[in-house]
Each structure stands twice: as structure tokens, then as C-alpha cells.
Amino acid sequence: MKLHPVELERLTPEILHVFGRQPPLLTAGDKTGLNTMTIGWCQLGRLWNLPVCTVYVRPERYTYQFMESHDYFTVSILPEEAKKVTALCGSKSGRDVDKVKACGLTVRWGAGDAPFFDEAEWVLVCRKLYAQDMDPACVLGEGEILPFYTPGQGGWHRIYVGQVVEAYQK
């Protein structure tokens, strides 16, 4: 079955349940170049009375430059049996490996030429609305949060809030 457009409200309860079991691929770029990475942090909800998806990217990640230079990003959730794809996309850098080619993924294009993958079960196409760096001075639960930021692991994430402008489902 092919991906087809779907109303976000129909997709929302199901996709929230899946976020915890199947790590999504965050993808940014356009037809001239793109990168994808596996993410563990992703939120879906409403902000400013708009349907939004929030993702987090460290500045050291290759995807960060694509997130900064493009107005759209996508979140693709692959089937559970695609664990090798999400493992590779979460462990290799796009600076060194063409992850799309290595995984045999088929790129499709959404609003703003945002790339996503035909192999996905669900896709959210998002237009960036807001970006802000996380600030360690704002952390309230130090014991629970600061272990995510140990030396040598990378810097603090940048938060990207995107309006969900398209949704696809198999």
C-alpha cells in the first residue's frame, strides 16, 4: 500500500503511541541535498492554535545545517521491521555515508520540497515556526536532565517547532 494524504486528527492518537516504540527519522533538505537522522525526542500537539511537531537537534549533527537552512522538515515513522534502517541512521553521519542510498530508501517530496520516505507508515511534513537553543540555566530537574549532557556527548539541543502542514499514512 502506498502513502496517501490523511487528515492529521485521524492520525494523531495512533502516531503518538508509535513514537515510543519506533524511533522516527527526522529529515531536512530539498531536491539539491538532504540528510536524515534517527531521533528519540519528538512531540506532537497544539501551539498558537496550530497543530505542531517539536523536534530537537544538537548543533554537532549533520542534519542541523539542513534544519537551519530550510523552512520545512519531515518526521517519518518506518515499520517496526525497519530497525536496521533506524539503527544506521542513528549511528552514522551523513557527512560520511549517504544514508538514503545505504538503506535503500525512496525519497518523496512534500510541501516546500521537504523530503520524506515512501517506506514510512506515517509522515508529518512541518513548516518551521520557531527555533531556540536549550539553556542549561533553565533546567529545573538537574538530576534527571543533566546526565543527557555529559562531556564528550555533544552540546545542548536546538528546539524546532514546526506546523504540521501535511500528513501521510499507509
Give residue 152's pLDDT band: very low, low, confident or very high (50, 70, 90): low
Query: What's the average model confidence in pLDDT over 77-97?
Result: 91
Give residue 16's pLDDT band: very low, low, confident or very high (50, 70, 90): low
State how many domains the chain has: 1
Report the alpha-carbon distance of residue 137 to residue 146 in Å, rounded.
11
Model confidence at 76: pLDDT above 80: yes
pLDDT for position 11: 65
Per the DSSP assignment, residues forming a β-bridge with 53 are 44, 162
pTM: 0.90
Query: What's the average model confidence in pLDDT over 65-82?
Result: 95
Report the alpha-carbon distance of residue 118 to residue 112 in Å, rounded.
17
Residue 72 · residue 79 · CB < 8 Å:
no
Q: Where are the beta strands (DSSP E) in 31-121?
A: 33-38, 42-47, 50-57, 72-77, 107-109, 115-117
Question: Residue 73, Cα to own-chain centre: how many angstroms?
Answer: 7
Model confidence at 18: pLDDT above 80: no
Range of the domain at 8: 4-169
Identify the CATH number of the domain in which residue 65 sits.
2.30.110.10
Within 13 A of 134's CA, how many CA atoms are on the CB side?
20
Question: Residue 131, Cα to own-chain centre: how many angstroms?
Answer: 14
